[in-house]
């Protein structure tokens, strides 16, 4: 909350009860990522370490085990959603299913 209102846009922060736009660098300074995550000044999003997710990398996921990659075939583990983001041609909970395309 910012005074009596919510800031409408993610690039805004609350200063003296007013929502103001901030640059990427300032945004990242004000929205520190947790658990070793880094803030991308262009997208203004936290890039989380393996096993963590959330807007500020504040969520630990048991699905994304740090000791082994549960996602197969170069899939990326999404901690906040407890699922894998698969590369092209793969699907399934763990990106274990190869999609075969038939020629017409």
Q: Which single residue is written with the structure tokens 């370490």?
A: 49
Q: What are the C-alpha distances in Å from 37 to residues 18, 28, 29, 48, 98?
A: 28, 11, 13, 4, 31
| Residues 14 and 40 both lie in one domain | yes
Question: Residue 15 sits in which domain range?
Answer: 1-60
| Residues 5 and 48 both lie in one domain | yes
| Residues 25 and 43 both lie in one domain | yes
| Residues 10 and 53 both lie in one domain | yes
- Predicted confidence band of residue 75 (pLDDT cuts 50, 70, 90): very high
- Predicted confidence band of residue 104 (pLDDT cuts 50, 70, 90): low
Average pLDDT rounded to a whole number, residues 13-31: 83
- Whole-model pTM above 0.75? no
| Residues 6 and 43 both lie in one domain | yes
Average pLDDT rounded to a whole number, residues 74-100: 89
Q: Which single residue is written with the structure tokens 């409408």?
A: 8
| Residues 36 and 79 both lie in one domain | no
| Residues 1 and 36 both lie in one domain | yes
Tell me what pLDDT residue 81 has.
78
The DSSP letter of residue 21 is: E
| Residues 11 and 55 both lie in one domain | yes
Average pLDDT rounded to a whole number, residues 54-77: 82
């Amino acid at each position: 909350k910012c005074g009596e209102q919510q800031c409408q846009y993610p690039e805004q922060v609350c200063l003296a009860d007013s929502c103001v736009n901030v640059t990427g660098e300032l945004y990242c300074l004000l929205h520190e990522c947790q658990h070793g995550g880094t803030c991308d000044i262009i997208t203004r999003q936290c890039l989380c370490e393996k096993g963590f997710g959330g807007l500020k990398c504040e969520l630990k996921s048991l699905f994304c085990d740090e000791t082994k990659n549960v996602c197969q075939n170069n899939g990326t583990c999404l901690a906040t959603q407890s699922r894998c983001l698969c590369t092209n041609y793969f699907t399934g909970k763990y990106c274990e299913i190869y999609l075969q395309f038939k020629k017409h």
